[in-house]
Amino acid sequence: MAKLWGGRFSKNTNELVDAFNASIDFDKRLYHEDIRGSIAHANMLAKCGIIPAEDGEKIVAGLKDILADIEAGKFHFDVALEDIHMNVEARLTERIGSAGARLHTARSRNDQVALDMHMYMKKEIVEIAELLINFEKALLTVAKKHEKTLMPGYTHLQRAQPITFAHHMLAYFNMLQRDFRRLLGVWEGADMMPLGAGAIAGTTFPIDRFMVAEELNFGTVYPNSMDAVSDRDYIIEFLSFASMLMMHMSRLSEEICLWSSTEFGFVELDDAFATGSSMMPQKKNPDISELVRGKTGRVYGHLQAMLVTAKGLPLTYNKDLQEDKEGFFDAIDTIKFSLAVYCDMILTMTVNVDKMAQAVSRDFSNATDLADYLVRKGLPFRQAHEVVGKCVAHAICEGKFLPELSLEEYKQFSDLFEADLLVALDPENCVEARKSYGGPAFSENEKQFAMGDNVLAHQEEQLLELQQNL
């Protein structure tokens, strides 16, 4: 098949070169954006008098027919035509004749593909934003359900201080809240219209870029033609967001893997969200969490690949930039799937309240509270820390936990100890006493729940605004 750019060439392209050069196998998913952008471009060309009005009407009608064919599975994508742009344009010209050949007036594939990618990203941001909100809702729902469920908090994977399971879930809720904020920042980068930049230096035709931007619901237009076609920072921003999101999900995945183990036994995953072993009949594996943890590295790889691809490119367009799509598409698919499956997995898992309570009562995570007890009695914290450290060492030697030591044993280390120390050692009291802003006290949880509800309400308003600007 003759190339749409073949006028300068005397030989057909080698078949291997065709295959190597082609992007249609993956960029065909841009068909909706490509056709929508072409319709807007054709409308603009006709209104500005650059092409005859009747040709503009034929082009728009033909493009709509092609869109219907693609969605009905009746469109054949040809590798020899390289990409989605040339496949659509070639089919259009076949159908409507010379009018179709006018469509590419005042544009290049360079600004065309940039437009497609910006539009596609905006659409996907909206879908991801909705999934992210749903996951946040799931975390908040679980947190509210376990407002007073005690568990050990960890540092260095060693038991540190008593907290609530609600407080732990709220930590991830807050991480995802920031991820949502970062996603809105990605939208700003995507909401710029590049069409009209041409191949590098705009066009000699009297186009109206702002008309196209308005029809396609873009907030602004690239002010520099070279920048519009050459940079992929908006994709890098998206991959950075995706990496941060997956990092947070990976950390939660690691904890779920630990919590669902026999050694912890803090949670049990629903049967619908776990798998078994082909050899060991007793196994219940947290495969979803493991896959999310593994796929995090995959998304990181896409970010690194894009950074390396872009780092040494001279302005403007270079074919290297074709490599922006596969990793980008895969990252989108990965985070959407991860968010969707995780939402339901979190909502359906069983939290073993008794096992968590048992764990927090059989450790030394209340030691800090004992030191605080001595501080309230007038002892400087550093001295209190030393005294309690000796109490812990003594308890370990005796095979006891702190509440099991007698008052006489405590008096060996400080006369400030009184019978009321047991109140300070009670795990529930330890938690409730931590009423500093952002702490795990039950009263603070209530405040955080209310804040969470407000956050979600605001995010849904922001999502609606995004949906209206697609």
Evaluate if residue 305 carries a pLDDT over 70: yes
pLDDT of residue 278: 84
CB 65 within 8 A of CB 79: no
Q: Distance between CA 274 and CA 281 in Å, rounded? A: 13
pLDDT in tens, 167-216: 999 999 999 999 999 999 999 999 999 999 999 999 999 999 999 999 99
Q: What is the mean pLDDT of residues 51-78?
A: 96
> Which residue is catalytic, options 76, 98, 156, 278?
156
Q: Distance between CA 99 and CA 390 in Å, rounded? A: 89
Q: What is the mean pLDDT of residues 383-408?
A: 96
Taking residue 7's Cβ as centre, other Cβ atoms within 10 Å add up to 7
Query: Both tokens of residue 390?
Result: 């000796």
Query: Both tokens of residue 173?
Result: 């809720």
pLDDT of residue 10: 59
Q: What is the mean pLDDT of residues 140-167?
A: 96
Query: Both tokens of residue 450?
Result: 């209310």
Please give the residue that has the higher pLDDT: either 121 or 17: 121
Phi, psi of 130 (to 5 degrees): -65, -45
pLDDT in tens, 453-462: 999 999 999 9
Evaluate if residue 3 carries a pLDDT over 60: no
Q: Distance between CA 460 and CA 452 in Å, rounded? A: 12
What single string gives the DSSP state of each residue in 67-123? HHHHHTT-----GGG-SHHHHHHHHHHHHHGGGGGGTTTT--HHHHHHHHHHHHHHH
Average pLDDT, the chain: 93
Residue % of the chain over a pLDDT of 70: 95
> Is residue 156 flagged as an active site residue?
yes
Question: May I ask the CATH class of domain 110-145+163-199+222-354?
Answer: mainly alpha
Max CA distance (Å), the chain:
101
pLDDT in tens, 403-432: 999 999 999 999 999 999 999 999 999 999
Q: What is the mean pLDDT of residues 226-244?
A: 97
pLDDT in tens, 73-111: 999 988 888 888 889 999 999 999 999 999 999 999 999
> Which residue is catalytic, options 261, 277, 443, 458?
277
Q: Where are the domains of the chain?
A: 13-105, 110-145+163-199+222-354
Query: Both tokens of residue 141?
Result: 């729902």
pLDDT of residue 14: 60
pLDDT in tens, 328-384: 999 999 999 999 999 999 999 999 999 999 999 999 999 999 999 999 999 999 999
* Those residues with Cβ within 8 angstroms of residue 454's Cβ, 6 or more apart along the chain or in another chain: none
Evaluate if residue 449 carries a pLDDT over 80: yes
pTM of the model: 0.92
Residue % of the chain over a pLDDT of 90: 87
> Is residue 365 flagged as an active site residue?
no
CB 437 within 8 A of CB 444: yes
Q: What is the mean pLDDT of residues 299-322?
A: 93
Domains 13-105 and 110-145+163-199+222-354 share a fold: no
Q: Distance between CA 84 and CA 80 in Å, rounded? A: 11
Residue with tokens 């049967």: 271
Evaluate if residue 5 carries a pLDDT over 50: no
For the chain, the first-to-last Cα distance in angstroms comes to 36
Question: May I ask the CATH class of domain 13-105?
Answer: mainly alpha
What single string gives the DSSP state of each residue in 251-287? HHHHHHHHHTSTTT--EE--GGG-B--SS-TT--B-H
* Those residues with Cβ within 8 angstroms of residue 98's Cβ, 6 or more apart along the chain or in another chain: none
pLDDT of residue 21: 56
Question: Residue 9: pLDDT band by 50, 70, 90 thresholds?
Answer: low
Evaluate if residue 309 carries a pLDDT over 70: yes
Q: What is the mean pLDDT of residues 44-67?
A: 97
pLDDT of residue 4: 59
